[in-house]
Amino acid sequence: MSATMRIVNGQVYDPKNNINGEIKEICIQDGKIVDAVDDDATIIDAKGMVIMPGGVDIHCHIAGPKVNLARKLTPEARRHDVHPSTPFTRSGSGGTTPSTFAAGYRYATLGYTTAMEAAVSPIGARHVLEEFEDTPIIDKGFYVLLGNNIFLHNLIREKRFEEFEQAVAWWVNATKAYTVKLVNPGGDEAWKGKKNSNVTDIDEKTGPSSDISPRQIIEAFVKTVNKQGYPHPPHIHCNNLGHSGNYITTLETMKTAGDLRAHIAHIQFHSYGGVVGKNPISKAAEIADYVNKHPNITCDVGQVMFGESTIMTADAPLAYVLKGHTKGKWVNADTECESGCGILPFVYQEHLYMHTLQWAIGLELFLLSEDPWRIILSTDHPNGGSFMAYPKLIKLLMDEKFRHEEMKRVNQKALLKCSLPELKREYTLYEIAIITRAGPAKALGLETKGHLGVGADADITIYDLMDDKEMMFSTARYVFKSGEPMIANHEFTTDSKGKVYHIAPTYDNKIEEVLKPFFEDFYSIEFSNYPVDDHYLHQHEIIKTR
């Protein structure tokens, strides 16, 4: 098929360009959206179909050492969910942690064309980039974990903020990351050093000599990333994930950012009231209210979906606590001087109070949001559920009747502790296009993604318009990636590798003289071998820092 195409007769949903279901032609040339094409362009008739930009997943876990550990930990999931090859695509295995090939193809099947791996320890960056090369079709990027980095903690403790900024920029460059990720900042060190303890308050002092707080770490990163103008702000997984009463920590984390940009990851897991050790209650209203009133904050929801999942986190103390509940197989890891890790298979069950409340809080956050551009759809794949559950989540948001049917099957006591039963709102296709496409692309600063305006990447999804929105969003009829038809009439027609997005903030080389002695003393890897070489990047693009 020609790379010059005209898609006609389809209902277009392109929120960035204020197009809400209008019948409009979309023209494609050389991988980009253009105003017009020649008359001999290939025509695709999208009558009775919905045209949206390709989906953008702002927060998922699809590549790298921790994902691979999870794959190895669950061989039964691989056996029971074989992803067959086609004449154009390779085979793979599924489950909640699909193989690289299956992950790319399954995202494409849903109509997603970009996905960001949300937590990579710097030392695992090579592995991630190698897996990205094997993750087909979708464009990718990753966030590098720096919130439990001992060297950076030392600089904060010693108030050497100029060197801190240079070191952060060096680390982002060295790993080819897209932005920095903070996971339970300061918490991993407590877990590693003090017999499985954790920080419980944003102002609790942590570290080897208990003289640095999570708030100081968050503040330093927010200021640095905003000063250096990264396209996406620091991606923050707050302290106290999953604990009753943690909404106070979440509010304090957002307040710490002041009016600077910050992204709060899987905010559902951080919206619990109540007392530690007892069942939580919903504080979704308080969290949604703060987000609504502060345009500098973006967040993704991290919706829990009932069924199988895999807990996969750099929040090592959290995984350690959860393994006490599941009593099944589990992995905890200490990643040198820079992070921790925990992985365990997990099942969310409708009849349990906690799991129902988590499910309900996620939906509340979506439904209470006044600005869909800043509350983005995610399940924190695979933590809250697989990305393959996105179609069902969309149906829950768009269909109040379906939501109430589902509510009949869940723990009723939990529903009494939240406002979900009273919420009548139903998302429109326009709003779905925002929370799955335009919103995440805007939050990521990817100007050529998430819209269908002239100059945008021709990443386009065409769905059959159906009443059952779960079925509609489960399989796209057409998916175009950079103007090439990847899926036509529900069948893969070709394969491609997709691109890696990263940033390259400038820094003073002198910081290497400060870093090198630390590496020689404490790292298992030589300083000169630590930065990721350019040849680990296949097709890639550097997004400019402002």
Binding interface with other proteins (CB under 8 A): 73-77, 79, 328
Within 13 Å of residue 118, how many CA atoms lie on the same side as its CB? 30
CB nearer to other proteins: give 58 or 73: 73
Question: How far from the centroid of its chain's Cα atoms is residue 468's Cα?
Answer: 26
CA angle 462, 266, 176 (to 5 degrees): 75
Q: What does the angle CA 226 – CA 228 – CA 231 come to, to the nearest 5 degrees?
A: 70
Closer CB to other proteins, 81 or 130, in the complex? 81
Tokens standing for residue 349: 């069950």
- Bond into 382 cis (ω within 30): yes
User: Closest distance between other proteins and the C-beta of residue 82, in Å?
Assistant: 12
327 or 408: whose CB is closer to other proteins?
Answer: 327
CA–CA distance, 104 with 178 (Å, rounded to integer): 19
Residue pair 53/439 in contact (Cβ under 8 Å)? The answer is no
Nearer to other proteins among residue 76 and residue 259 (C-beta): 76
Ramachandran class of 412: left when φ > 0, alpha when ψ lies in -120 to 50, beta otherwise = alpha
Minimum Å distance from CB 328 to other proteins?
7
CA distance 387 to 95: 11
CB atoms within 10 A of CB 84: 9
- Torsion from C-alpha of 68, 72, 73, 79, nearest 10 degrees: 120
Minimum CB separation of residue 75 from other proteins in Å reads 4
Q: Whole-number minimum distance, CB 185 to other proteins, in Å?
A: 34
Closest to other proteins by CB, 346 vs 366, is 346
Nearer to other proteins, 76 or 203 (CB): 76
Long-range contacts of 399-408 (CB under 8 A, 24+ apart): 399/426, 399/469, 400/424, 400/425, 400/426, 403/363
**CB nearer other proteins, residue 83 or residue 481:** 83
39 Cβ neighbours under 8 A, 6+ residues apart: none
User: Least CB distance from residue 262 to other proteins, whole Å?
Assistant: 39
Nearer residue to other proteins within complex by CB, 76 or 334: 76
Smaller CB distance to other proteins: residue 227 or 329? Answer: 329
CB of 73 to other proteins, least distance (A): 7
Closest CA to 263 of 124, 509, 70, 445: 445
Min dist. Cβ of residue 93 to other proteins (A): 12
Residue count of the chain: 546
Q: In angstroms, what is the minimal distance from the CB of 450 to other proteins? A: 38
User: Residue 31, Cα to own-chain centre: how many angstroms?
Assistant: 25
Which is closer to other proteins, CB of 77 or CB of 365? 77
CB 81 within 8 A of CB 95: yes
Region for 196 from its dihedrals, namely left if φ exceeds 0, alpha if ψ lies in -120 to 50, beta otherwise: left
